[in-house]
Amino acid sequence: MRQKLVTFITLFIAWIIFSGGISFDVLFVGTLVSLLTTSLFHDMLFRFSNHKLSLLDYLKKFGLILLFIPVFFYEAINSALKVSIHVFEKKPSFSPGIVKVKTHLTNVTAISILANLITLTPGTMTLDFDKGDRVYYIHWIDVKTREEAEARREIIERFESWLDVIFK
Amino acid sequence: MLIREIIAYIFMSIGAIFAIITVIGLIRFPDVYTRIHAAAVVLTISAAFLTFGVAIYVWEFFLSLKIVLIGVFFLIANPMATHSIARASYRTKVAKLKVRTVDEYSDYLGSEDK
């Protein structure tokens, strides 16, 4: 029930934003379309694995996500500048390679979000994830070290600690 | 000129500069994977800055919200496309790693085939 309600509200807000104004027609058609979509696909958008969380926990998570956005953009701009410097070198002098990085996250959502964040930051890109060993295979434009612990600190630790707190 | 417009122009020009850097990088970098890294700059930084700048420039509640939502969709959809291009071109051996220092993924794929 809660899953259906959250899906309906999310779809309805997205509908209102995209229709660009609030009037009777918009609300009427939006309700119908959101109800139809919710009744068909309510188990696809959100999955609640832990039903014990209260509303306060969700608010706390939302606040943490909002705090995380500037941190992410700071890291992204930092690494974008590092990649941009390579563009203007006379002979591009980088040492790309594929490294193996182990993670300690267990939540499926957290693992996939971490993979997407690694791909979004310029300079690193996730190629594959091994479910058995929980290991990312990451193409890195500037392999500074072949030590696994060093690479881990360099690439994923800055996001991993945040995701640890959010998906506790 | 309003101060809001100046801020919007600054955001949009940062996005445009990063886009130009990306194009130069696409031409100059040696192989597929490093070119994807150059493209990732435009996919995240440039798109985010441009959409944010345009949202400040129009300054209308629903229109700005719509543009920001488009930027969020950019950020959700881009890593999937990048990841699937890179993974497919590695696994089908269409593009080889021309420059490399270490390649631990080929060992993993080799152990999977056995």
ipTM above 0.95, yes or no: no
Amino acid at A95: S
Closest CA–CA distance from residue B1 to any residue of chain A (Å): 27
Q: Which residues pair with A140 in a beta bridge?
A: A97, A124
| Candidate from A73, A116, A125 with C-beta closest to B36 | A125
Q: Which amino acid is it at A22? A: I
For tokens 């100059």, the residue is: B28
HSE at residue A14, side-chain half, CA atoms within 13 A, is 13
Q: Is the pLDDT of residue B76 over 50?
A: yes
* Structure-block tokens of residue A118: 């690694």
Q: For residue range A9-47, list pLDDT tens digits in order.
A: 989 998 998 888 888 999 999 999 999 999 998 777 776
According to the model, what pLDDT value does residue B114 have?
42
User: What is the rounded average pLDDT of the residues A50-79?
Assistant: 85
In the predicted model, is pLDDT for residue A66 greater than 80? Answer: yes
From B41, B100, B108, residue closest to A80, measured CB to CB: B41
Please state the separation of Cα B66 from the chain's center in Å. 21
What is the mean predicted confidence (pLDDT) over A69-80? 89
Max CA distance (Å), chain A: 62
Q: Is the pLDDT of residue B113 over 60?
A: no
- Match 């979509």 to its residue by tokens: A37
Question: What average pLDDT does range A79-106 have in this prediction?
Answer: 83
Residue B13 scores a pLDDT above 90: yes
Q: Are A2 and A48 in contact (CB under 8 A)?
A: yes
Q: Is the pLDDT of residue A102 over 80?
A: yes
The gap from C-alpha B22 to its chain's centroid, in whole angstroms, comes to 9
Between A2 and A119, whose confidence is greater?
Answer: A119
pLDDT for B57 equals 92
Mean pLDDT over the full length of chain A:
85
List the single best residue of B101, B107, B112 to mutate versus A (max A Cβ within 10 A): B101
Number of inter-chain CB pairs under 8 A, A vs B: 126
A130 has a chain B CB within 8 A of its CB: yes
User: Of B28, B63, B101, which has the smallest distance from its Cβ to A97's Cβ?
Assistant: B101
Mean pLDDT of A46-60: 74
- Global confidence as pTM: 0.85
Say yes or no: B36 contacts chain A, CB-CB below 8 A: yes
pLDDT band at A162 (very low <50, low <70, confident <90, very high): confident
Residue B56: pLDDT band (50, 70, 90) is very high
